[in-house]
Amino acid sequence: MSVKSEPSLLDIALTFAAISSTAFGGGQKASMRQQVLSRGWMDQERFMDGLEIAQVLPGPNILNLAVYCGQRVRGIPGAVAAFLGASVPPFVIVLIAGALYFKFAANPYVHGALRGCAAGALGLTAGNALELTWDERTQWIRIVLVAVTALAVSLLKMPLLLVLVMFGGAGIANEYLRSRKKADGAAS
């Protein structure tokens, strides 16, 4: 995929700084997806590849994804710019929020606001999951894997490594069989 125009390192850093400063929870991934696709920095397939990689690597998914996107656009300098843009603003916000929280921790309005933020984060996460899987709705097996994985983690409290091996393995097997079927169909 060709990039529309090579963005400056400052543009990359500011884009990821804006995302990390204005979105939280699952909304960051959706916002990042919208930004990199609308700017032509990568296509949907490349973004989803990056999201998959970011989720299996250790560390914060959003930083992993930012580094992936920055690297795809401008190499190592782009990865560094994306990392700084995605990590410095939230760090400053957390320091300020932490100081304010400890100053006003006894205030019942603070607790109400935090409960509201938690509900908002849950809604953003659900919305993000729907947005990222919407294109997959015609592949019923993928939807089943997403649903079963969510149930295994949330209701059955299965260990994440076991879930990754089981359902990730099932997803890999499904994609392998699908690509073999597609290759066999093209060969005949």
How much is the pLDDT for 77? 97
Mean pLDDT by groups of 10 residues along the chain of 188 residues: 74 95 77 92 92 90 94 96 96 92 89 86 77 73 85 90 91 88 80
- The full set of domain ranges for the chain reads 1-136, 137-188
Selection from 66, 58, 54, 55 nearest residue 21 by Cα: 66
Whole-model pTM: value is 0.64
Other Cβ atoms closer than 10 A to 16: 31
How much is the pLDDT for 73? 95
Selection from 146, 122, 120, 118 nearest residue 133 by Cα: 146
With a CB cutoff of 8 Å and minimum separation 6, the contacts of 143 are: 133, 136, 137
How much is the pLDDT for 39? 94
Could you identify the residue written with the tokens 């260990």? 159
How much is the pLDDT for 3? 47
How much is the pLDDT for 4? 60
How much is the pLDDT for 1? 46
